Amino acid sequence: MVTLVLWTLLAVVAARNATFSRPVLAAEAGMATAVALAVISILAATILWWVLIAERAPTFLSGDLATPLNARLVATVAVMALAAVAATAGAVRIAQCLPKWARN
């Protein structure tokens, strides 16, 4: 536990002392947006897969029962949805914080 705290402290100190050029900041903003879009796309694909499997082979999701609800799958999709919300919020925050020169 102490090691984790020390590495976290080191990362915070290093992040405070880091400086980035304009092109690097613009590239990072673009990558953050791309990752947010990828997370949303993966979530949509997972939900589509779930719906199609539930429609065509419901026992695949829940064993012998003919219900598409599986606790592990529900939990996984819920965590994926939270990750999509966090990624989108981060990308929006980055876009709002960038100066006008980086938005064009």
pLDDT digits (tens, 9 = 90+) for 2-55: 899 999 999 999 988 888 888 888 888 889 999 999 999 999 999 999 888 888
Judge if pTM exceeds 0.75: no
Residue 67 confidence (pLDDT): 66
Half-sphere exposure of 2 (CA within 13 A, CB side): 0
Give the mean pLDDT of the chain: 86
pLDDT digits (tens, 9 = 90+) for 44-93: 999 999 888 888 887 777 666 656 677 788 899 999 999 999 999 999 99
Measured between alpha carbons, how far is 50 from 89 in angstroms, rounded to an integer? 25
Residue 102 confidence (pLDDT): 62
Measured between alpha carbons, how far is 69 from 55 in angstroms, rounded to an integer? 12
Residue, of 44 and 1, whose pLDDT is higher: 44
> ∠ CA 93-97-28 to the nearest 5 degrees?
75
Measured between alpha carbons, how far is 102 from 82 in angstroms, rounded to an integer? 28
Residue pair 90/36 in contact by the 8 Å Cβ criterion:
yes
